[in-house]
Amino acid sequence: MNSLRVSVEKIKENEVALDIAETAESFPALEELIQRAECRFVGSITGRIRIYFANGFFEVEGQVAARVLLPCSRCLQEVETPLRADISATFASELPLIEGGESDEVELTAEDMGLLPVEGDEIDLREVIQEQIIMELPLRPLCGTDCRGICPFCGANLNDGDCGCRAPVFNNKFAALKDFKAEK
């Protein structure tokens, strides 16, 4: 049995609590990030999720954690980053119909309201978890706030010391005007 698939009947009978310990490769979107060498996960994705039935909906709440290695956006050195993602989702066996008015208002679908459909007789948490982990990935990870990056001329890591490169001198046609003073 897949540890991230839970029977709808089991949830209706009683609240279900899941302890999660899955490899990143078991999540398709995370596996794709790993294959493209955008990141590497250290250890398992762990967490605790509870699922309960309330008012005709299946409510999912919990938290997952992971550690990921990402390249620093300035110097490209690998940075280990802890991730914590809150999980909150609502599944519905039958998506409610939303009646539209007679005006020109935009109709919302059940998906627009954040309701996820239950497919078959099980709820699969894999998509919800991977989505939240991806949302927690930093856009521009840094090895430190004082990271100096790499030299744009020789590619040396400037955190290791000055590379000795000098900025090239460009032929600036307007250099003669830098000392020009206009009379009023």
Segments making up each domain of the chain, as ranges: 5-96+103-143
What DSSP string runs through 53-112?
Answer: EETTEEEEEEEEEEEEEEE-TTT--EEEEEEEEEEEEEEESSPPP----SSSPPPPPTTT
Top-confidence residue, 110 or 61: 61
Q: Is the distance from CB of 72 to CB of 142 less than 8 angstroms?
A: yes
Local structure of residue 157 (DSSP, 8 states): B
Q: Over the stretch 147-162, which tens digit does the pLDDT of each residue have?
A: 999 998 888 999 999 8
pTM of the predicted structure, to 2 decimals: 0.76
Classify residue 46 by its DSSP letter.
Answer: E
Among 124, 109, 108, 107, CA closest to 58: 124
Question: What b/e readout covers 45-74, taking b as 16+ CB neighbours within 10 angstroms?
Answer: bebebebebeeebbbbebebbbebebbbeb
CB atoms within 10 A of CB 93: 15
Given this model, what pLDDT does residue 83 score?
96
* Structural tokens at position 35: 């294959």
